[in-house]
Amino acid sequence: MAIGRRVRDTETDPFYDMLFNMLIAFVFCFVVAMLSFNPLARKAGDIPAKAEFMVTVSWPDHNPNDVDAWVQEPSGKVLWFRQRDAGMLHLDRDDRGAKNNTLIVNGREISSPYRQEIVTLRGVVPGEYVVNAHYYDSADQQPVDVSATVVKINPQAEVIYTGTVQIPRKGDERTLVRFTLDSSGRVTDLNTRPLTIVQRAGL
């Protein structure tokens, strides 16, 4: 019996050795994968852009028309699609309605229904900010309802203003909102008194 048991153990040892070697290989691959993982790069990618305020100018989904956000900051500099940075202001995207919301990917047309332009204020500069909308181009010759939302980002998100104005025709400009900041970033005045920006730029 002792001899039979010794022969059986000899026959099964290579099988156990193979399983053990496979386990070692798996653990080795797992360790290499963990070492190659770069948590700093992932963390850096997750950090959102810093901003004190965010201004969103939007119009109805799927609308074919081109509406532009214009924002004047306290020193008089004006942000628009040909001047995407003005002082601490930055225009994230020039949305041209149906013209730049469609892509062809692998022969398929993919389109975004959303119509909005987002302006971020990257630092607090005391004074008045004027947010206007300009009906730049029309595909259907119809009035467009344009909304503005102003959100204070720091220290936590707080909606300062939201409202909607109808712009009747191509070429028209409307003031959506005006707000004034003090040196601490507190809103001290909020109104919708009209102020022309686009015509002074010669458009």
Task: Answer with the residue of higher pLDDT: 21 or 182.
Answer: 182
pLDDT per position as a tens digit, 3-19: 545 554 555 565 556 66
- Domain-by-domain residue ranges, the chain? 2-45, 53-201
90 - beta bridge partners?
85, 120
Per-residue model confidence (pLDDT) at position 96: 74
User: Cα dihedral angle (93, 98, 99, 101), rounded to 10 degrees?
Assistant: 50
pLDDT per position as a tens digit, 93-104: 888 765 555 556
pLDDT per position as a tens digit, 155-203: 889 999 999 999 999 999 999 999 999 999 999 999 999 999 996 665 5
Q: Are 174 and 165 in contact (CB under 8 A)?
A: yes
- Phi then psi dihedrals of residue 34, to 5 deg: -65, -40
Task: Answer with the residue of higher pLDDT: 41 or 195.
Answer: 195
Mean pLDDT within 64-77: 95
Which segment of 44-48, 80-84, 159-163 scores lowest on mean pLDDT? 44-48
Q: Are 139 and 166 in contact (CB under 8 A)?
A: no
Tell me: domain 53-201, CATH 2.60.40, correct? no
